[in-house]
Structure 1
Amino acid sequence: MTSVLLVDDQALLRMGFRLVLESEPDLRVVGEASDGAVALEQVAALAPDVVLMDVRMPGVDGIEATRRIAAEHPASKVLVLTTFDVDEYAFAALRSGASGFLVKSARPEELVEAVRVVASGSSVVAPRVVRRMLDLFAGQFPVPGQAERDDGLHARLRSLTPRELDVLRGIAEGLSNGEIAERLVVSTTTVKSHVGNVLAKLGLRDRVQAVIAAYEFGLVRAGGDGPA
C-alpha cells in the first residue's frame, strides 16, 4: 500500500485527486494540506511515501516545502503539480529535490501511474524535458544550502571513473541507457550498472538529479548540444 499526502491550496482539486487515488486498491491518501507549512507538519507526522505537491501556494510555497522534505524526510518522495510541462516553478522544485512533476491536466490514469513510479524510487520526468528546463531557467533559482551541497558533490565527482563520467554526460544530454550503450559501444546492462554507480557515488536519488548536477558542474552546457 502506497501512502500519499495531498498538498494544494484548492480544496476541490484535493478532493478530485483523492477520489482518483483512492479508487486504486494499492493507493491510500493519508492526509491533506493547503500550504507548505502544514505539509511539513503532515510529512513529519505521517511519513507518506509520496507527497503530491502544488508549487504556487501562499505562505510556505511548494518549492521551499520540497527542499525541506528532501533534506529532512528523504523517504517521502515529492511529485510536483504544475500547469505547464516546461515551468520555471517546476524546475525550481526539481532542483530542490522533487522526484518529478505532473501537469494538472493529466488524465487520472497518468496521475495514478506517476504516483506509483515515484513511490518505486524512479523519477517522473524525462531527462530531455529537464534539459529544456535547464536551457531556459538554469541559474535563476538559487537553492538555500546549494554551495555546501555543491562542495560535497564536487568532492564525490572526483571519485567517478572516466567511463562513469561519460555515462553521466550521456544522462545529462537526455540519452536513454540504450543510446548511451550505442555511443560507448558497450552493453545496456553495463550502462545500467554505471548509472547505478554514478548515482550512488554522487549521493543522487535518480536521473533527474543527475542531469541537474551535470549541468551545475559544467559537464554539459546549458543551451548547448553536447559536452562542455
Structure 2
Amino acid sequence: MLRFSGGSSAVVLVALAVLAVLATGCGGGADTAGEKAPTGDSAKAGGASSSGKPAAAGTVDFDTVFTTEERFKRALPDPASMAGWTPKRAGADIEETPKPAAECGADTHWDCTSVADGDANFEEVGERALFDLVAYADKKAAQDACRKEKDWSAKYSKADVPPVPGVESHAYYRNAGGLDGLDLTMCLGTVIAQVRLEGGGSTLDPATAHSLAQVFVPRIQKAAAS
C-alpha cells in the first residue's frame, strides 16, 4: 500500500494500482523503462517554469512550488516508469506551518525550511532504489538548502556519478544504520531531489544511480509544468 498524507492529519491510503493509472493519466507513461531504468536522451536539459516555458540556457529550472499531493504523485517515479523494479511504498507530507529561515538558523538540518516532501521506494534483487523530493517555498530557499546539504555531505567519500544535463548535482557513498548506500543529490528549481541505492545485493553502481536520475528529473519537470 502507498501512503500520501496531506496538509491535515488525515492519511490517505492509495493502492499500488493507482500509480499505474497515474503513469498514463498524469503524463508518466512516456517515461517507461526497460531493465531497471532507461538511459540516453530521456533526461535532456530544458526545464519548465511555472508558466510551462523552457528554462534558459538548457538549465532545468522552474518557480513552481510543490505543495499538493497530486504534484508529488506526478513527480515521483511510479511502477510504469520503473519496469523491472518492485514498488514498495510512496508518500508525501505537506507541512501545515513551514518554519521560516530565521527560526531554523544556520546550524539546523538542510531540510528545516522545507514546505513538503515525498518519497517512492523500489526493490530489485536485493537492491533498493529510493527517490526523495524535498520542496521549498521558492528557488532561493531551495538553493540555500542545497548549499547546506552539500557542505554537510562533504564528510563522505565522493561517488563519480555522471551529471544529468542542466542539473546541479553531487554524489557520495554513505553508511547509515549499518547499511551502505550511494546518494545522488540534485538541485533544480524549488526542490532538492535525491536518488539513493542501498541493500545487501547492491553494487552501488554510479551508472545505475545516473540512469535512475534520468527517470526522476523529467518527471519533476513535467510535474512542475502541469
- TM bracket, shorter-chain basis: under 0.3
Q: Which has the higher Rg, Structure 1 or Structure 2?
A: 1
TM-score (normalizing by structure 1): 0.25
More helix as a share of residues: 1
TM-score (normalizing by structure 2): 0.25
